[in-house]
Amino acid sequence: MSSSRGLFLGYRLSEIGVKALRTQIGKIIGIATVSDSRAEYEKYIAEKIYGQQSLDLN
């Protein structure tokens, strides 16, 4: 990684906040833990992270 890219990443983490980043990672790990399949994981991510409700087309 170049030093300018590292500086940018460090700046973004400072701007967003490490606590917010840890919160998001915790949500994703929790969703991955309770998901039985990739489809279920992606459904939960869409609902919880992006706020989109999934449609059951079956």
pLDDT, residue 53, reads: 62
Angle at 34 between CA 29 and CA 35, to 5 degrees: 95
Q: Cα 48 from chain centroid?
A: 9
Note the pLDDT of residue 3: 61
pTM of the model: 0.56
Model pLDDT for residues 9-52, shown as the tens digit of each residue: 666 667 677 788 888 899 899 999 999 999 999 988 888 877 76
